Chains A and B, each alone.
Chain A
């Protein structure tokens, strides 16, 4: 068994280079136009595309970096390997691509003829605000991301995340329960 594993590692797993970026040679920067750029191995990519390989489970690991023509330059194994200043640039770019408001409370849920109207409290702790949204086809648009996290997709295409269903207050949970799964 042990030998079999070794063979497979040497033959396949190690044979394919997934192109992990050597972060010592990488410099992320913000362009004057507000885009994120990368200088890597002597090349300057003035507009890069960042995408998460594991956006739900590990949003800060395995980040694909592509040039403006969508050709992958390489992969960042973990943002933790970046310096503080570099981290801030990459994280800000990711955040602006993946922005999904966090839901803290569900004020009301009304089911009207196939559409579910929700009044949500979203935002950060310091600045919470109410948002009304309409959800159609709840079985598809209210769905669990993992055991405890839930995503709500409204008719406009916005995505709201409940970070912890078990951490939600009782009233909100009761309002949401008929539409779960």
Chain B
């Protein structure tokens, strides 16, 4: 069964459909008219501990679910081919019978449910890995029901597999097949960074080649020339020992000088190239949307970028030059050996691969022991760090002895592995050297015989032995440099991925620039999800008039902060619209939008620099007087003046420690200086004590004057001055109105208010 035509085009309208060939025949075997099918996915069914392979297909009005077991046979170089599909049962479900379809994320599974007339039904329970496929299927059905092309905005399954070799992309959005990755073109692109340093690169390569030329000729001069021409009677320079020694020394000295020269030029060039690369990465990172940083694959972005840049750096400083040197040395030595004595050269060529094979085998055994040792060492290290950091807790619970026992357990395991590793190490390496020596012994024995027979001179034999030992290095290096190169290319690929990444949130082609943003905000049926099947906002509607304050109340995880991020367009909505002064935020100039919105949140970030620099971050040209005015308005001036370096106190990583309240006041001062038209206060005072909160509230009150303000808060007391309030629960607005209206309604807000009031009463009673 082939997989030659996974995408079919249908009829005059060329409506795109997607049914893999193997599914098409499975459905045809069930007597279904496959010409009407539009889309199909492969999933599984894991309900009631049974496993089934499931094919789900949809036509313009029906969903077909086919249960069975498939046997997958892999053939080399081709995409997986389904050899057998044993269908067991077919479910036919017309859309008219199905209600609203939803996928639900469970713990390690997901389920497809239908809801109609208040009754819910589970259609399928599948492994979590198929969630994205099921989500795509639901989108296709939604498109069909809406009457838009079925595959609009759908990634067809085929795009999840490498077109060349059929390997599944490890990350569908990355479309990078590790098997077929074009290493050559990536290396070429990487080499492009050397273009600006062309002359230096030429110097590096020439000096490297000259250096290896001298090292290749060194044994020829030191052994053959010295023994055959200087020490042997009848030689061209018989007895000229001093001149010969000087020549040997000169050859070596020139070699060393060339090496120094090339290292010097290299050290002056490569760091600049890596700097260029890092700068490009950094610039690219500034362009990217917040979503890029919060997505799972960029969890440790900084570490990765540094590690990748270092991988590239070391390959170019250490790896590539040696590839050139070793390749040249290897070819040079083999050529010279063949010229000196073809017979002996042939013997060496036979011995070498055996020696290398033996070396690699021993090395792999040693590496396994080393790995185990490393595993236990890291466990032990984490235990020590755990114990040091948790000393207060350990002592408080009197668990010192238990900790010691835990340590002894892992330590014992490590000791056992250590013994094994030492034994292997002490046995393997001498054995390797013995084997290498054995190679030399064979050549010496055979060569010695040839010397006695007069086939070659003593000088030739000694030169051979010297060359033989010189050959091990390049050969061994070549056997693992390919892995090193692969790692460097992978790093480069990731770096280029960041450089080439397109931000999710982009500036519109023809952005609307308003003279002044008044601050009328409206959210219409806004839906948003960070991960598939886990919607955060589920059709949120609210509005706030220019200059008014809207208070947002709701439990943790209700979607309040997400809403704030969407207004500032840190993310784009999945569905629905957000308008400011009647214009969709997607059409507004991104720069103007961001400059017009000030966000004071619980997460405060101070950059490395002085307090003054941090306050004027939004307006670097603000005068010192404006900075002080902002600090005063934010109730920050007094604490700043109590610091020894006042406004010049260095904060951020490694700087002066400030309390949460102090940092918050600096961030408010920063926003005051920004002078935004719209202000979003996202739990700005959530982590503060009552007195600090009162101070900050005063500062915030100043800041809110005359601006549209959206204040998100847990503590309802902070929202007393709001013109209107909205209660958000489970991604929707469940109540809205003024404080008075909501209290009279006795709904969610009333409940929350009562709970907080009761809490305060308890505190007062205890106090």
Contacts and interface: CB of A to CB of B under 8 A. Distances in A.
Interface of A: 31-35, 47, 51, 92, 95-101, 112-115, 117, 123, 127, 129-130, 132, 134, 136, 154-159, 177-178, 180-181
Given A98-B108, A99-B46, A155-B170, A181 B129 contact: no
Interface stretch (B120-128, B538-546, B633-641, B673-681): B120-128
B71 A129 contact: yes
A177 B51 CA distance: 29
**Which 6 A-B pairs give the minimum distances between C-beta atoms?**
A156-B129, A34-B122, A33-B121, A158-B129, A112-B178, A113-B490
Contacts of B132: 156
A181 B375 contact: yes
Contacts of B181: 113
Contacts of B687: none
B526 interface: no
A127 B51 contact: yes
A115 B170 contact: yes
Given A157-B128, A158-B128, A159-B108, A178 B371 contact: yes
Contacts of B120: 31, 33, 35, 47
B171 interface: yes
B368 interface: yes
Contact of A99 (B109, B122, B486, B489): B109
Contacts of B111: 96
B524 interface: no
A103 to B, nearest CB: 14
A123 B6 CA distance: 29
Chain B interface, DSSP helix/strand/loop, else mixed: mixed
28 contacts: A31-B120, A33-B113, A34-B122, A35-B120, A51-B107, A95-B48, A96-B48, A96-B111, A97-B109, A98-B108, A98-B109, A99-B46, A99-B49, A113-B178, A113-B486, A113-B489, A113-B490, A114-B178, A114-B490, A115-B170, A129-B51, A132-B74, A132-B168, A158-B108, A159-B128, A178-B371, A180-B375, A181-B378
B119 interface: yes
Nearest to A157: B128
B363 to A, nearest CB: 14
B736 interface: no
A16 B86 CA distance: 55
B127 A130 contact: no
Contacts of A100: 108
A80 B522 CA distance: 55
A32 B119 CA distance: 9
Contacts of A136: 170-171
Contacts of B109: 96-99
Contact of B49 (A35, A92, A154, A181): A92
A136 B168 CA distance: 13
A92 B50 CA distance: 10
Interface in B28-54: 46-49, 51
Contact of B51 (A31, A123, A154): A123
Contacts of B69: 127, 129
B178 A157 contact: no
B354 interface: no
Contacts of A154: 129
B250 interface: no
Contacts of B80: 132
B189 interface: no
Contacts of B649: none
Interface of B: 46-49, 51, 69, 71-72, 74, 80, 106-109, 111, 113, 119-122, 125, 127-132, 167-168, 170-171, 178-179, 181, 368, 371, 375, 378-379, 486-487, 489-490, 493
B170 A158 contact: no
B108 A99 contact: yes
B129 A35 contact: no
Contacts of B74: 132
B213 to A, nearest CB: 35
Contacts of A114: 178, 490
A99 B178 contact: no
B755 to A, nearest CB: 16
Nearest to B107: A97
Given A35-B122, A129-B71, A96 B178 contact: no
Nearest to B367: A178
Given A113-B181, A115-B178, A177-B371, A96 B170 contact: no
A156 B130 CA distance: 7
B232 to A, nearest CB: 55
Given A113-B181, A127-B51, A159-B108, A99 B127 contact: yes
Contact of A156 (B106, B128, B375, B486): B128
Nearest to A135: B170
Contacts of A180: 375
A99 B130 CA distance: 13
Given A99-B127, A113-B490, A181-B378, 10 more contacts: A32-B121, A92-B48, A96-B125, A97-B107, A98-B107, A101-B51, A112-B178, A129-B51, A158-B129, A178-B368
Nearest to B70: A129
Contact of B72 (A33, A34, A130, A156): A130
Contacts of B121: 32-34
A33 B697 CA distance: 52
A180 B378 CA distance: 12
B129 A112 contact: no
A163 B109 CA distance: 19
A35 B51 CA distance: 19
Nearest to B114: A33
Contacts of A96: 46-48, 106, 109, 111, 125
B51 A157 contact: no
A31 B170 CA distance: 39
B106 A97 contact: yes
Contacts of B170: 115, 134, 136, 155
Given A33-B121, A178-B368, A155 B171 contact: yes
A99 B108 CA distance: 6
A95 B49 contact: yes
A55 to B, nearest CB: 8
A96 B48 CA distance: 6
B48 A97 contact: no
A157 B125 CA distance: 15
Contacts of A34: 121-122
B207 to A, nearest CB: 33
Nearest to A134: B170
A8 to B, nearest CB: 13
Nearest to B183: A113
B179 A112 contact: yes
Nearest to A127: B51
B87 to A, nearest CB: 16
Contacts of A33: 113, 119-122
A127 B487 CA distance: 39
A53 B724 CA distance: 42
B745 to A, nearest CB: 21
Nearest to B129: A156
The listed residue with most B CB atoms (<10 A of its CB), out of A92, A96, A136, is A96
Contacts of B129: 154, 156-158
Contacts of A157: 128-129, 131
Contacts of B490: 113-114
B727 to A, nearest CB: 16
Nearest to A117: B167
A94 to B, nearest CB: 9
The listed residue with most B CB atoms (<10 A of its CB), out of A101, A155, A180, is A155
A29 B128 CA distance: 25
Contacts of B486: 113
A68 to B, nearest CB: 9
A132 B79 CA distance: 12
A3 to B, nearest CB: 17
Nearest to B127: A158
Nearest to A91: B49
A100 B108 CA distance: 7
Nearest to B297: A136
Contact of A181 (B122, B128, B379): B379
